[in-house]
Structure 1
Amino acid sequence: MKFFNLLILFVFISFSSGLRAQTAPVEGSLDGGTIDSQLTWLLKKSPNYQEYEMIKRFMALKMKQNVLDTLKVMRASINEGKNTITAQQTQIDNLKIELGNTNQNLEQTTKEKNSMSFLGILMNKAAYNALLWGIITALVGLLVWFIYKFRNSNLVTQQARAKLSEVEEEFEAHRSRALEREQKVRRQLQDEINKQKAGKS
């Protein structure tokens, strides 16, 4: 009777689990899920002998195949990840090169923006402004010096002309006096000559 009740119970459980397997997806099996869930299912389904789990050969082979498939998928995923990393690293290197070129162009543009060309020499704006104002100051200084020299020379020329005019006037006066004296002396000489001629006659 006990045996019969156990048999009925076993058939009922087998029949109901068979129906459940057909109507719903199997929870925990070697056909799906993660390796961890498959191992857990395998340990639950395997009978114990002392401290050992007795795993059926086909289940062990199926588990081995599942592990190998998972490793294959993981290796492919790792290789794909490595390829992605390599591609991204190449892209990063290219972007770094582009960034370096862009920074170099930016520095050159900034340098050119903050610089002026003077006689073919690139100078920053502060030095250019200092040089320009130095040249302007030197030119203004030279102009002032030339004006001073011109006025000084003009003044000296005017003074020399005034002295020349004065000397000419003195010379004319002296010449007039000398001429008068000479005429006076000639008259006196003529008078003397006339007196001597009159005294001889």
Structure 2
Amino acid sequence: MKELLSKYLVVFILVIFSASTFAQTTSFEAAFDTLTIKDQFEHLYKRSNTFEVYKVMSISGYNSLKQNSIDSIRQYHEEVSDHQQEITTLKNNLRSTSSEIENLKEELASTQKAKDSISLIGIPTSKGSYNSIMWGLIICLAVILLIVVSLYKRGHQIVKETKTRLTEVQEDLENLRKNALVREQKLARELMDYKLKHKPSR
């Protein structure tokens, strides 16, 4: 009879212990699901028994905390790896963007230079130099035009004066010719008169 009671007692204690362990494990797992790792340590510490200067913790609680810590560390490693990949991608994008910006700056400088320069006889020249050259040519042409106009006017005046003098000389020559003709006719009459006067008689 005592042996039978002892067996029942042992079975009862084992059932109670198993139920308590299962309940505690369930309690730990339920509590750990909503707590951070730090709070899980605090929770396990508070739920552990004290023996002198030691804390006697539940194995199931320890295992849950350990597994949760490992899972958290693994998750942190994965997040760190993901972040590193994102950082690498961002660095590559930044390098690519910087390269594109440099290319755009060079194209802009080239475009600005082309915009500010004009081809003069196949030689690229800045707009300022081009304007100076053009104004210099215009001024030179204007001076040459003034000189040509002045020379033309002077030549025209000389030609006009020459024509006037030529006309005067022609008139003088015509007068001289007429006078010479008159004198010649006069001399011819005088000679004829002289011959008639001094004609020998027969």
Q: Please report the TM-score for the alignment, with normalisation by the length of structure 2.
A: 0.66
Contact kept, 8 Å, 1:46 with 1:54, in 2: the verdict is yes
- Tell me the equivalent position of 2:30: 26
Q: Output the amino acid matched with 1:180.
A: V
Q: Which of 15, 33, 41 is the aligned partner of 1:39?
A: 41
Q: Structure 1 residues 39, 167: CA separation in 2 closer, same or farther (over 3 Å shift)?
A: same
Alignment of 1:59-78 (within 5 A): 59-78=61-80
Q: Output the amino acid matched with 1:136.
A: I
Q: Which of 132, 144, 150 is the aligned partner of 2:146?
A: 144
- Tell me the equivalent position of 1:161: 163
Q: Structure 1 residues 190, 50: CA separation in 2 closer, same or farther (over 3 Å shift)?
A: farther
Could you tell me how far 1:158 is from its partner in structure 2?
Answer: 0.4
Counterpart secondary structure, 1:86: helix
What is the RMSD computed on CA atoms of the aligned residues?
3.8
Q: Which of 173, 176, 181 is the aligned partner of 2:175?
A: 173
Q: Structure 1 residues 87, 170: CA separation in 2 closer, same or farther (over 3 Å shift)?
A: same
- 1:10-57 Cα offsets, whole Å, 9 max, x none, are x9xx98xx59x68xx833x3x563221122122223344554444455
Could you tell me how far 1:109 is from its partner in structure 2?
Answer: 4.3
Counterpart secondary structure, 2:30: coil
- Tell me the equivalent position of 1:3: none
Counterpart secondary structure, 1:33: coil
Could you tell me how far 1:197 is from its partner in structure 2?
Answer: 4.7
Taking CA–CA contacts closer than 8 Å with sequence separation of 6 or more, which of the two structures ends up with the larger relative contact order?
2
Could you tell me how far 1:169 is from its partner in structure 2?
Answer: 1.1
Q: Please report the TM-score for the alignment, with normalisation by the length of structure 1.
A: 0.66
Gaps of 5+ in 2: 1-15
CA distance, structure 1, for counterparts of residue 178 and residue 98 of structure 2 = 104
Q: Structure 1 residues 137, 26: CA separation in 2 closer, same or farther (over 3 Å shift)?
A: same
CA distance, structure 2, for counterparts of residue 52 and residue 132 of structure 1 = 101
CA distance, structure 2, for counterparts of residue 150 and residue 121 of structure 1 = 37
> Quick check: 128-137 or 155-164, which moved more?
128-137
Q: Output the amino acid matched with 1:166.
A: E
Q: Structure 1 residues 51, 167: CA separation in 2 closer, same or farther (over 3 Å shift)?
A: farther
Counterpart secondary structure, 1:26: helix
CA distance, structure 2, for counterparts of residue 26 and residue 69 of structure 1 = 16
Number of residues of Structure 1 aligned to a counterpart in Structure 2:
182
- Tell me the equivalent position of 1:79: 81
Contact kept, 8 Å, 1:35 with 1:67, in 2: the verdict is yes
CA distance, structure 2, for counterparts of residue 44 and residue 81 of structure 1 = 36
- 1:103-146 Cα offsets, whole Å, 9 max, x none, are 44444444555555544445555544444444334333333332
CA distance, structure 2, for counterparts of residue 183 and residue 53 of structure 1 = 174
CA distance, structure 2, for counterparts of residue 123 and residue 51 of structure 1 = 93
Counterpart secondary structure, 2:35: coil
CA distance, structure 2, for counterparts of residue 139 and residue 104 of structure 1 = 40
- Tell me the equivalent position of 1:92: 94
Gaps of 5+ in 1: 1-10
